Chain A
Amino acid sequence: MTFSLRHIDIRFGDLLVLHDLSMEVEEHKLTCILGPSGAGKTTLLNLISGSLQPQIGQIEGFEGKSISYLFQETRLLRWKTAEDNIDFVLKDHLSKTQRVEAINRYIEMVGLNEFRRYYPDQLSGGMKQRVAIARAFAFPSDILLMDEPFKGLDLQLKTSLMQAFINVWLTDKRSVFFVTHDLDEALLLGEEIFVLTPSPGKVKGVLINSIPHKDRDLNSPQLRSIKDRLYQLVTT
C-alpha cells in the first residue's frame, strides 16, 4: 500500500500555499515533513485528513482510512481523568472490552499507570502530552498525523516525550505523518524526511534515514553526516 500525493496545488484566495507538491510514501513508515513556517505544513496535514480538497492534483491511498492526531496542544478535557480522556475518543468506535484493553495497554506504555485516574490539572505538561500520545495510539487508526507536538518544550522534556513516542510506535507501527520545522526532531524520528520550500510549499528534496531508532544519537557520526546533508538541503 502506498500513499501518494501528485502535483498538488492549494490556493487560499490569492495566496498559493502548496504548488506542484508530490510525495509518495509506503505504509507503516514514519514520515517527516520538514519546512519553515509558511510552507503549508498544516495545510498538507489537512489534505491528508481529507478536511481539505486540492484544487489541482490527485491524492491516493488515504480514502476510508481512520486517522488519529497529536496536536501541539494536549487538548485534554479538564473534567475527565487521563483514562476517561482516552475513553472519550474510543467510545463511539470500540466495544467496552476493547476500550479497556486499549486504555490499559497505552497508558502503561507511556508510563502513566499510576496517574490514570488523575485529572489534567494534576498532571505536568509532559504527562499531559503523554496522555495525548496514548489517546492517539489507543484510537483505532491507520494513520497518525502529528502537527508539531513537541514545539516549544524544553530540550529534556522534548527528548523524553520523543522517546516515549518512539517506544510506542516501534510496537505499533501506524503510518505517521509528522510535521516539524526542527531539524533534530526530524533526524531523531523520521525514516523519510521530505523537505519543503517556503511559500508556496513544494518538495525540495527527500532524505532517507535508515538508522534504527534505538541507535539514533545526535552526537553519533552517522547521524551527524545525515544532519549535514539535511542542513545543506534546507539551506540551499
Chain B
Amino acid sequence: MRNSTIKNSLLTTASVLALLLVWKLLALYWNQELIMPSPETTLVKMWQVIQTDNFWPAVGYTLGRGLLGFFISCVVGLVAGFAAGFSPPVLWLLQPWVTVVRTIPVMSVIILAIIWFKTDIVPIFVTFLMIFPIIYSNVLSGIKNIDQQLLEMARMYRVKPRRIMTELYLPAILPYLLAGASNAMGITWKVIIAAEILSQPRFAIGTNLMIAKIDLETARVFAWTAVAIFISFVLEYALTALENRFKKWGQSQ
C-alpha cells in the first residue's frame, strides 16, 4: 500500500470514530433514549431486530424491490439512451418526459403511486421514476462523447453496424453507465424506503421503520436505519469499484 493510501484510511477511521463520539456525546447530553438513543443501545437493539422472524424477509423484500427497480431503470435507461443518442427525433420526443420526471417531487410520485398501484409495486415504480432519468442521461452523454476516431476506423474497415454497436459503443459507454449506476444506487435505497414508509408493504424495511416510530422506539428506528445504510454502502461500494475498473474505457488511445 502506498503511504497516502494508509494515511487516507487512517483519516477515514478517525472520522468514523469522531462520528460515533459525537453521537455518544449527544446521547449523553439529552440523556433520553426516546430522543437520542446511544450507540450501545442501538447496537443491542439491532441485534434483537436481526433475531426477529420479520428481519430477513423485510431485508430481502426491500433489497429485491430496490434491485428490481434499479435493474428495470438500467435496462430502460440504456435502451432509451441509445435510441435518443442515435435518433434526434427520439431525443426531442423523450426530452419533455425526462424533464418532467426529473423535476417531479418524490412525495407526489409516491402518493400518486399509492393511489394507482398495489403496495408492493409502489416502491419499484417510484424507484424507476427516480433512477431512470439518471441512467438515461448518462448513457446519452456516453454516446455523444464516443471517440470519433475509433468510430471512423471501424467504418473505414467496414465493420458491420450491429458489431459497431455491441463491440464499440457498448463498451465505450460502460464507464458512463457505471458512473450513473453507482450514483443511482445510493438514491435507490433512500427512495425505496421512503416509498415503503408511505405504502406499507407487508415485508419492508420502511414498514418496520414506521412501526418503530409508532411504537416510539427510537433505538429501533436507528437500528433499521443502520441496516439501510449498510445495504446502501455495500452495493454502492461494489458499483464504485466496478466503475473505477472500467473508467478508462471510453478514452481514446
Q: How many A-B residue pairs have CB under 8 A?
A: 48
Q: Which residues of A contact B51 (CB under 8 A)?
A: none
How far apart are the CA atoms of A92 and B253 in the complex, in Å?
Answer: 23
Can you name the residue of chain B whose Cβ is closest to the Cβ of A141? B157
A73-B149 in contact (CB<8A):
yes
Q: Which residues of B contact A67 (CB under 8 A)?
A: 156
Q: Which residues of B contact A91 (CB under 8 A)?
A: 159, 163
Q: Which residues from 40 to 87 on chain A have a C-beta closer than 8 Å to any C-beta of chain B?
A: 49, 67-69, 71, 73-80
- What string of 1s and 0s marks CB contacts (under 8 Å) between B156-186 and chain A? 1111100100011001000000000000000
| Known pairs A71-B149, A77-B171; A88 contacts B159 (CB<8 A) | yes
Binds A, one of B62-70, B211-219, B244-252: B244-252
| Known pairs A75-B253, A77-B150, A121-B248; A69 contacts B157 (CB<8 A) | yes
The listed residue (A49, A78, A88) touching B251 by CB distance below 8 A is: A78
Interface of A is mostly: loop
Please indicate which of the listed interface residues B150, B157, B163 has the most CB atoms of chain A within 10 Å of its own CB: B157
User: B153 an interface residue at 8 Å Cβ cutoff?
Assistant: yes
B253-A120 in contact (CB<8A):
yes
How far apart are the CA atoms of A71 and B251 in the complex, in Å?
Answer: 17
The listed residue (B152, B154, B156, B248) touching A78 by CB distance below 8 A is: B248
A49-B253 in contact (CB<8A):
no
Q: Which residues of B contact A68 (CB under 8 A)?
A: 157
Can you name the residue of chain A whose Cβ is closest to the Cβ of B160? A92
How far apart are the CA atoms of A64 and B121 in the complex, in Å?
Answer: 58
A88-B253 in contact (CB<8A):
no
User: A202 an interface residue at 8 Å Cβ cutoff?
Assistant: no
B156-A92 in contact (CB<8A):
no
Can you name the residue of chain A whose Cβ is closest to the Cβ of B170? A79
Min CB–CB distance B186 → chain A (angstroms): 27
B163-A73 in contact (CB<8A):
no
User: A177 an interface residue at 8 Å Cβ cutoff?
Assistant: no
User: A139 an interface residue at 8 Å Cβ cutoff?
Assistant: yes
A92-B158 in contact (CB<8A):
yes
Q: Which residues of A contact B150 (CB under 8 A)?
A: 75, 77
Q: Which residues from 213 to 253 on chain B have a C-beta closer than 8 Å to any C-beta of chain A?
A: 248-249, 251-253
How far apart are the CA atoms of A93 and B160 in the complex, in Å?
Answer: 10
Can you name the residue of chain B whose Cβ is closest to the Cβ of A92? B160
Can you name the residue of chain B whose Cβ is closest to the Cβ of A139? B157
Q: Which residues of A contact B167 (CB under 8 A)?
A: 77, 80, 88
Q: Which residues of A contact B249 (CB under 8 A)?
A: 78-79
Min CB–CB distance B175 → chain A (angstroms): 10
Min CB–CB distance A51 → chain B (angstroms): 8
Can you name the residue of chain B whose Cβ is closest to the Cβ of A84? B167
Can you name the residue of chain A whose Cβ is closest to the Cβ of B252? A73
How far apart are the CA atoms of A88 and B150 in the complex, in Å?
Answer: 12
B158-A128 in contact (CB<8A):
no
Q: Which residues of B contact A88 (CB under 8 A)?
A: 154, 159, 163, 167
User: A89 an interface residue at 8 Å Cβ cutoff?
Assistant: yes
How far apart are the CA atoms of A120 and B152 in the complex, in Å?
Answer: 18
Min CB–CB distance A82 → chain B (angstroms): 12
Q: Which residues of A contact B152 (CB under 8 A)?
A: 75
Min CB–CB distance B176 → chain A (angstroms): 14
How far apart are the CA atoms of A69 and B154 in the complex, in Å?
Answer: 10
B248-A92 in contact (CB<8A):
no
How far apart are the CA atoms of A128 and B252 in the complex, in Å?
Answer: 13
Considering the complex of A and B, which 10 residue pairs feature the smallest CB-CB distances, nearest first?
A89-B157, A75-B153, A79-B171, A92-B160, A74-B253, A76-B253, A69-B156, A78-B249, A75-B149, A79-B249
Known: A74-B253, A77-B168, A88-B154. 10 other contacts (CB 8 A): A75-B253, A77-B171, A78-B248, A78-B249, A79-B171, A79-B249, A80-B167, A89-B157, A92-B158, A120-B253
Chain B positions near chain A (C-beta within 8 angstroms): 149-150, 152-154, 156-160, 163, 167-168, 171, 248-249, 251-253
Can you pick out 9 interface pairs between chain A and chain B where the beta carbons lie within 8 Å of each other? A68-B157, A69-B156, A73-B149, A73-B252, A78-B249, A78-B251, A79-B249, A80-B167, A88-B154
